[in-house]
Amino acid sequence: MPYNPVETHYTRTDLGEVILAALKAAGKDLDQLTPDDLAPVDEFHGGQRPATIRLAELVSFAGTERVLDVGSGLGGPSRYLAWRYGCRVSGVDLTAEFVRVAEMLTGLTGLVDKVDSRQGDALDLPFEEQSFDVVWSQNAAMNIANRERFYGEMRRVLKPGGKLALQEVAAGPGGPPHFPVQWAQTPIISFLYSQQETRAKLEMTGFRVLVGRIPQQRHRHRRWRGRAAPSAHRRCWVHI
């Protein structure tokens, strides 16, 4: 893929080796790793594993769903959903190094039959229309300016009656963030929207927001939950 400042921000070429060394130092058996062993390092979104659990509970997985994880990073949530619920999960991320490490960790946890990862652009998802029962994304949107296209691609690949589950960082009343922050060194790749703006853009795209709430945390996140109704609408659950 051509140069992208977002990918550059997240890339560390020795990331896999650093993670394996840390796991060994923590006394983990690399031949018998579980998603729980990896949770401290492969779920670096806000709230980490507890946030993943809360969002999954909103979705109410049956275990038969085909799930797309957009902005899947190192694959932590993808592996958790496959391991905990039995879902088949595909992850897509802009950062090639994240995808490489995600594939390595999925192999070490024995979940290659349930989880796959690929490099791709969230604004041009490499999947056919109506391919997934659930589209899932945690803390990816803050690097994306074109939210209409972002949410539109999610809606395109969702089946009618499907669900969208999001965890996002929202703009709060205190003004813009002080850089650097976790997702950006400078404002060039940081695009935060308020709760109201986020909901409006989701609804403009054709989603029906069913749940949206803010937990009591220092940073403003919001979980949203929704679904694709049999008509043109999709339902959405969001956490900002």
CA distances 130 to 114, 147, 212, Å, are 20, 20, 24
Using one digit for the tens of pLDDT, what is the confidence trace for 120-164?
A: 999 999 999 999 999 999 999 999 999 999 999 999 999 999 999
Q: Is-cis flag, bond preceding 180, omega within 30? A: yes
Q: Coil, strand or helix: which one is 130?
A: coil
Predicted confidence (pLDDT) at residue 217 exceeds the cutoff of 50: no
Tell me if 237 sits within 8 A of 168, measured CB to CB. Answer: no
* pLDDT for the residue 61: 97
Residues 6+ apart with CB under 8 A from 12: 18, 97
pLDDT bracket for residue 230 (50, 70, 90): very low
* Residue 236 to residue 240: CA distance in whole angstroms: 13
Candidates 170, 150, 142, 160; CA nearest to 240 is: 170
> Residue type at 74?
L
Asked if residue 76 lies in contact with residue 39, where contact means CB atoms within 8 angstroms, the answer is yes
Bridge partners, 238 (sequence order): 166, 224
CA dist 177 and 18 (Å) reads 29
Domains in the chain, ordered, with CATH?
5-123+130-239 (3.40.50.150)
pTM, whole model, 2 decimals?
Answer: 0.89
Confidence of residue 97 (pLDDT cuts 50, 70, 90): very high
Q: What pLDDT, in 10s, does the model give residues 150-159?
A: 999 999 999 9
Helix (H, G, I), strand (E, B) or coil at 8: helix
Strand-pairing partners, residue 235, are 163, 227
User: How high is the pLDDT of residue 232?
Assistant: 42
Question: What pLDDT is stored for residue 218 in this prediction?
Answer: 35
Mean pLDDT of all residues belonging to the chain: 89
Whole-angstrom distance, CA of residue 204 vs CA of residue 76 = 30
- Residue 110: predicted pLDDT: 97
Look at the chain and count its residues: 240
Cα–Cα distance, 129 to 148 (Å, whole number): 17
